Amino acid sequence: MDGILLLNKPKGLTSHDCVFKIRKMVRMKKVGHTGTLDPDVSGVLPICIGRATKIVEYLTAAEKTYEGEVTLGISTTTEDASGDVVEQVSVNRSYSREEILDILFKLTGEITQTPPMYSAIKVNGKRLYEYARKGIIVDRPSRVVTIKELSLLDDREVFEGETISFRFRVVCSKGTYVRTLAVMMGELLGLPAHMSDLTRTASGNYSIEECLSFEEIEEKLSSGTLGEDLLSIESGISHLPKYEINDKVAEKVKNGAVLLLPDALQDIHQGDEICLYTTMGKCIAIYERHKQKPQLMKPVKVLVNNQELH
């Protein structure tokens, strides 16, 4: 069984929990997820099975789309609804629609985020959440992320109450902490805040409408039809440039040969990656321009072995 299984992750499980569960369901060790979702977050979690585990990094790097809710007036240790309350204030004024739209506009584009203490980033060899659980706060490296789109999913003209919540949609780059984005919204409005709800609705080209629940996966396994729902490895790397090779070259590629860079690929830059396809439409390897010998290209990943090519 090789391919990409789109899971609609339920709340309450870590991404690793989901991988462990699917390993048991499909009785395979080679299973991996493509971008961590916190336990509080539901939605699209592409799971790579078999040979598809070779392309996990390409799916992890894809932009993500989320629909979430920010609640103003309350901040938490984890920046989401599962954390302990750190600060709670009564919101003593109303906010106009224009004020909310203005802060969303200010957070669109390239922004700098500091990862929350409850995150899996490593500092001095330990995960941040390991420090956080012991009550230790350490300096965290800030990162620049890209917020491609940030829109308001609420038709109110005035936002008021002791606490204020509103929904939003965000399209963002790899590495974005959406719960930190919710906190940043509060900061711009002068209020403590946390992310009170979040669903990932898309990961790269994959949408939540295509995803299966654990119950649906179990049903399809019982009926022997799960293979029909596995997406191809090619679908996970469709954003990369393609180059078709003949069978003779394919024999060299499967053994990881360094090749002359074809005339058709002379414009690619160092670091750019190209998918090499057979005449049957199967991607068998990912190559890049050779750094020391730019007239050549070398393998980044070979996706098939000798038996699989024939």
Classify residue 207 as exposed, middle or buried by CB count within 10 Å of its CB (0-12, 13-18, 19+).
middle
Cα distance between residue 28 and residue 208, in whole Å: 25
Beta strand pairing call for 193-203 and 42-49:
parallel
Is 38 an annotated catalytic residue? yes
CA-CA-CA-CA dihedral for 98, 102, 104, 107, to nearest 10: 180
Cα distance between residue 63 and residue 33, in whole Å: 15
DSSP state of 73: T
CA-CA-CA-CA dihedral for 103, 110, 173, 244, to nearest 10: 140
Of 2, 17, 38, 247, which residue is the catalytic one?
Answer: 38
What separation, in Å, do the N-terminal and C-terminal C-alpha atoms of the chain show?
A: 17
Q: Active-site positions?
A: 38
